[in-house]
Structure 1
Amino acid sequence: MANNIFEKSITDSLINRVNQLTPTTPNQWGKMNVAQMLAHCNVTYEMTYENKHPKPNAFVKFMLKLFAKSTVVGSKPYKKNGQTAPQFIVKDAKDFGVEKERLVQYLKKTQELGEKHFHNRESHSFGRLTKEEWSAMFHKHLEHHLRQFGV
């Protein structure tokens, strides 16, 4: 699978790009500053590893699977300034260092758990996902936002 986030070299490359960010790295598009973007990217991992966000009810989950899943786990890159789910909207001030370190630790944890851990595992919003879908979801979202900040 392309850009397999479970491969150490891919994860290391993403972490190296995250580490190129500074508290003043400007965005190329969008409304978030770099600290807010990092916090925004952490939401995906919070939904995966923490019981921090309420799970959608059956109807909402059905609608997400029907209308959002293919966009989130598919191979097509996200569009600039696209719509995001409410729990991903970050408007308040965030601590750059804290959010950056959280993201790096989530990336390492995901890579270390590996594709066997994720294959056919239930996701927060989309039901069971294959290891390829998990990888695409994690990688594509972060790739989009690293490009947003020019790294």
Structure 2
Amino acid sequence: MGSIYSKADNEIVISRINKLTPESKAQWGKMTVDQMLSHCQAPMDFAFGKTPMRSNFIMRLFGKMLKGKVFSSTEFKKNSPTAPAFIRTGTYDFEETKNGLIERIGVFSDLGQKALKTTKHPFFGELTYDEWSQLQTMHLDHHLKQFGV
């Protein structure tokens, strides 16, 4: 698995994103391609400190119990649950949303670990820089696979 902080690894991810079209269809799940591109920006915006999120004690406890299982895997399961703040139901401009995701990936390439404004995940709790990278990379890979790229 690549690193979200690596320019070379991110160029591979960006080339996959560039294979998407407005007509790309999901192989599973309910999102459209524009919703997926917007959805993938949301956890990055949280990591950059742009979108505050809170979770209750029960969710944090549950997240800590699942943390080991999630981080010992190399991919997310199909139809995995997501934070309500990350759910997208609207319609988004494809090119604008695609470019927004690519820009955010570039922030990780350009700034590396300094891109993160928090190490505390609202569900999993405290994460290392490597765990943040793994989570972001797995998330992008999951959704790009969802749309066949």
The 2-side partners of 1:134 and 1:16 are apart by: 22
> 1:131 corresponds to which residue?
129
- 8 A contact 1:6–1:111 mirrored in 2: yes
> 1:142 corresponds to which residue?
140
Residue identity in the other structure for 1:145: H
> 2:20 corresponds to which residue?
21
The 1-side partners of 2:69 and 2:30 are apart by: 21
Q: 1:46 to 1:10 in 2, by over 3 A?
A: same
SS of residue paired to 2:79: coil
Q: What stretches of structure 2 of length at least 5 have no aligned partner? A: none
Residue identity in the other structure for 1:104: I
Structure 1 stretch displaced more, 12-21 or 71-80: 71-80
Residue identity in the other structure for 1:49: F
Q: Percent identity?
A: 37
With the length of structure 1 as denominator, give the TM-score of the two structures.
0.84
The 2-side partners of 1:103 and 1:71 are apart by: 27
> 2:119 corresponds to which residue?
122
Compute the RMSD of aligned alpha carbons: 2.3
> 1:80 corresponds to which residue?
78
The 2-side partners of 1:114 and 1:68 are apart by: 26
Q: 1:13 to 1:49 in 2, by over 3 A?
A: same
Q: 1:93 aligns with which of 91, 94, 97?
A: 91
Q: 1:136 to 1:122 in 2, by over 3 A?
A: same
Give how far 1:6 is off. 1.3
The 2-side partners of 1:25 and 1:87 are apart by: 24
- 8 A contact 1:74–1:133 mirrored in 2: no
Structure 1 stretch displaced more, 8-17 or 121-130: 121-130
Q: What stretches of structure 1 of length at least 5 have no aligned partner? A: none
With the length of structure 2 as denominator, give the TM-score of the two structures.
0.85
